[in-house]
Structure 1
Amino acid sequence: MIQLLTPTHWKDYELIDCGDFEKLERFGNVILIRPEPQAVWSKALSPAEWQKLHHIKFKGRSATSGEWIKKNPATPDRWHIEYKNPEAAIKFRLALTSFKHLGIFPEQAVNWDYITQNIKRFKTPEPKVLNLFAYTGGASLIARAAGADTTHVDSIKQVVTWANENQELSGLTDIRWVVEDALKFVKRELKRGKKYNGIILDPPAYGHGPNGEKWKLEDNINEMMGDVMQLLDPEEHFLILNTYSLGFSSVIIENLIKSAYPQVQNLETGELYLQATAGSKLPLGVFGKFYKAK
């Protein structure tokens, strides 16, 4: 069955409104306007309300970069927010980057809860978790906070450094940091005979490894899935695959997983979205996830 999932208990984040290719969001006490290509409908709130509410707005110079315009110059460029579920709490440093991102994808909180639930249900002491395409580490942090032996892999050194800052901010230690092309790392782990109880993948549509390796989702994801399934501990495991690509549906995700792992149990597929306070649902990716417990 295809599910629609959205975070429901995050005090430090709120999608206030979205539409006309923009979104109005609150991160802690800071309210921002950012571009959003999925928001093709009209805004629920008036332009005057958006203007009154926001502190900072992103103005694009090109399709990939731009600048932040502050109403008050004293508004910080960096600040912290927290995420809590019943089992774990983590913190993030947010920053205004030139490519409109802040260092966090709020819709992933649904997956963070799934990670926590599975680590807590496993009988394996300190289960091993691998986070691929791991960015600034939300999934890595929550896995470590829930008690997992965690490995974090991303091809960009700067975001791995950022993730390490988030680890320190969260009061955590001992996440293993790896700056490498994700597919190369997985193949090396296979040769070493490694096994993981949890694997998280949130691959981009396009990307590059540290040595110029090229990643294109539709060309490489099937090979990647075939390899990561061999890394799963056969007795106790979970896997999450999340994609943000306008051409991918949850049916494609279901087919990928079943093709690579025919014996899959407890498979769920669907769409992640953020529920705007003003009413709209903002779709932000499709997912497939499954687990097996003793």
Structure 2
Amino acid sequence: MIQLLTPQHWKTYRLIDSGNFEKLEKFGDFILSRPEPQAVWDKSMMEGEWQKMASAFFKKEKNNPEKGQWELKKGMPERWFMNYKQSQFELSFKLALSSFKHVGIFPEQATNWDYIYQKLKAIAQPQAKVLNLFAYTGGASLAAKRAGAEVVHVDSVKQVVSWARENMEASGMDNIRWIVDDALKFVKREVKRGNVYQGIILDPPAYGRGPDGEKWVLEENINELLKLCNQLLDKQQHFFILNLYSLGFSALIVDNLVHNCFGKIANPEYGELFLADQFNKRLPLGVFYRFSTH
């Protein structure tokens, strides 16, 4: 059955309002207004209220809607830190205002961080191995490390890997293995080496480039990558998470993909990740599929 998942424990993050292709969010001590292509409904608050509450506004470039600039009010820093804290563990993240509207964190993923921590604690192995592919700034890597895992973090962008390292250090941890590489190439080498992981996390973009110009197209490459991941996954005890942000992929497509590549699986969960604003409008932010032996 298709599920809807949203974070439950993040007190320092809040989606305040959404609509007119924008969202108003609180990250720690600061409120940001930035584009959101899926917020096709009306805003619940007046435009003047948004202008008054927000400390930073993202303005898109005319010739390139994927990029833009931030307009900052007095006292708004370009970088700051915020925590994610729940009853079992705590993480710390550096946030920054990028020219691509992102700030270094995807809050809807917190529900997966909880899942990673819980599943690793249930694995009967002294130090489980976890592979995080397309790992970005490392929220999932930090959750796995906090649970005691040996973590391999793979991303094709060197600056993003450096950002993830800063998050690890801010969270008071060390010894994550950092890999700047094309995810598909790395996984192929791991299969040849005969390596096995108890946890695998994938968060691939719709399109991307590896460090040497390797081309990633989700529709063309995801099937092969999932089949390779099946060869890397420990058959006795494991968890697996797949997140997809492409608008062309529904939860049913992902369900078909995973069953095709992994065969019979235990404890499957799949559906949509979302964030709810304070007016109970639910903003969809990608589809997920996850399963585990525990």
Q: Same fold (TM over 0.5)?
A: yes
Pick the aligned partner of 2:73 from 52, 71, 74: 71
* One-letter amino acid matched to 1:17: D
Q: What corresponds to 1:269 in structure 2?
A: 270
* One-letter amino acid matched to 1:10: W
Asked whether the 8 Å contact 1:144–1:150 carries over to 2, the reply is yes
Asked whether the 8 Å contact 1:45–1:278 carries over to 2, the reply is no
Asked whether the 8 Å contact 1:207–1:214 carries over to 2, the reply is yes
* One-letter amino acid matched to 2:31: I
Q: What corresponds to 1:58 in structure 2?
A: 58
Asked whether the 8 Å contact 1:44–1:279 carries over to 2, the reply is no
* One-letter amino acid matched to 2:112: N
- Once superposed, what is the RMSD of the aligned Cα atoms? 0.7
| Whole-Å separation in 1 of the counterparts to 2:76 and 2:288 | 35
Percent identity of equivalent pairs = 59
Give secondary structure in 2 for the equivalent of 1:269. Answer: strand
* One-letter amino acid matched to 1:12: T
Give the superposition deviation at 1:49: 1.3
Count of residue pairs brought into register by the alignment:
292
Q: What corresponds to 1:8 in structure 2?
A: 8
| Whole-Å separation in 1 of the counterparts to 2:289 and 2:58 | 32
Deviation larger for 129-138 or 79-88:
79-88
User: What are the Cα deviations for residues 148-189 of structure 1, in whole angstroms up to 9, with x where unaligned?
Assistant: 110000000000000001110000000000000000000000
1:23-34 correspondence to structure 2 within 5 Å = 23-34=23-34
Give the superposition deviation at 1:14: 0.3
Asked whether the 8 Å contact 1:236–1:291 carries over to 2, the reply is yes
| Whole-Å separation in 2 of the counterparts to 1:269 and 1:257 | 10
Give the superposition deviation at 1:267: 0.8
* One-letter amino acid matched to 2:269: E
Give secondary structure in 1 for the equivalent of 2:41. Answer: coil
Q: What corresponds to 1:47 in structure 2?
A: 47
1:1-294 correspondence to structure 2 within 5 Å = 1-61=1-61, 62-72=64-74, 74-293=75-294
Give the superposition deviation at 1:278: 2.2
Question: Which blocks of at least 5 consecutive residues in structure 1 are unaligned?
Answer: none
TM-score, length basis structure 1: 0.98
* One-letter amino acid matched to 1:23: K
| Whole-Å separation in 1 of the counterparts to 2:87 and 2:122 | 14
Question: Which blocks of at least 5 consecutive residues in structure 2 are unaligned?
Answer: none
* One-letter amino acid matched to 1:167: M
| Whole-Å separation in 2 of the counterparts to 1:279 and 1:257 | 32
| Whole-Å separation in 2 of the counterparts to 1:88 and 1:187 | 33
| Whole-Å separation in 2 of the counterparts to 1:113 and 1:258 | 24
| Whole-Å separation in 1 of the counterparts to 2:120 and 2:178 | 20
Give secondary structure in 1 for the equivalent of 2:159. Answer: helix
Asked whether the 8 Å contact 1:87–1:146 carries over to 2, the reply is no
Moved over 2 A (4+): none
